[in-house]
Structure 1
């Protein structure tokens, strides 16, 4: 996958006539969104696109509350428009969650999920983000999260020697 940014129309030039705005593509028609859904569906081995879409929305909404500042803005810019809206619409969390607590919070949002299935779901979504948004941004995001999140993004986490 490649780094994708939501389409931003150019501002109108002074004195130009602007045509009425037309709605953007629906998420199912947005090629970048379809690419993300397909990547998550493959990574998580989900049976349907709808299942993969649902998992993406739950995981990104949970992540959106824990990524703040420039990293949150840059993450939203690098994601397909639908995914960016999910991240950007979240109210920042008042308490930082450990990686295990984060997975538990996702489990609470998915009917019938267990911590094990939620960890699979989280890893299926977050694991496809590095090629999409770039390793530099993922590193910046991980720097603001508590230890333990790197594995959820498919990275090895090295801890300093005691």
Structure 2
């Protein structure tokens, strides 16, 4: 998937006003995801994302993964975007369902396997959220 297509899908799913807004939200969500998954997995994911999104993920990658739940994930996204937590939930879903479309199934499984089951719904995989 090309960068412009990725942003167009995020924009449509998130009902954002512009590609720039979709890019800003995408970078924020991916930066928080990078804090939650292992550095190696973050690198693997970055290699499958288009354009500057992979670079954003690499730049945000900490030395090791932090362990936090989904509510903290939303809080961190909200902090980065200046939005309410409820809006951050919408934002995370718009971006991560697009990530699920853009990467291989094997890579998606590896990312989801590093997260508590509640995260799966954000990737459009509600059946894995049990």
Question: What TM-score do you get using the length of structure 1 for normalisation?
Answer: 0.73
Q: Give the Cα separation in 1 of the matches to 2:43 and 2:70.
A: 22
Residues 121-160 of structure 1, C-alpha deviation per residue, up to 9 Å, x if partnerless?
Answer: 000000111121022211111111123110111111343x
Alignment pair present for 1:155 and 2:114: no
Residue 81 of structure 1: how far off its partner (Å): 2.8
Tell me if the contact between 1:37 and 1:49 (Cα under 8 Å) persists in the aligned partners: yes
Alignment pair present for 1:37 and 2:7: yes
Alignment pair present for 1:133 and 2:83: no
Residues 58-90 of structure 1, C-alpha deviation per residue, up to 9 Å, x if partnerless?
Answer: 111111122224422221110113000010112
Structure 1 runs (4+) deviating above 6 angstroms are none
1:17-96 aligned within 5 A: 32-92=2-62, 95-96=66-67
Structure 2: any 5+ residue segments left out of the alignment? none
Question: What TM-score do you get using the length of structure 2 for normalisation?
Answer: 0.89
Q: Secondary structure at the match of 2:37?
A: coil
Tell me if the contact between 1:65 and 1:87 (Cα under 8 Å) persists in the aligned partners: no
| Larger gyration radius, structure 1 or structure 2 | 1
Structure with higher helix content = 2
Q: Secondary structure at the match of 1:149?
A: helix
2:85 — aligned with what?
Answer: 115
Number of residue-to-residue matches in the alignment = 128
Residues 78-137 of structure 1, C-alpha deviation per residue, up to 9 Å, x if partnerless?
Answer: 0113000010112425631111210111111112x1111000000000011112102221
Residue 54 of structure 1: how far off its partner (Å): 0.8
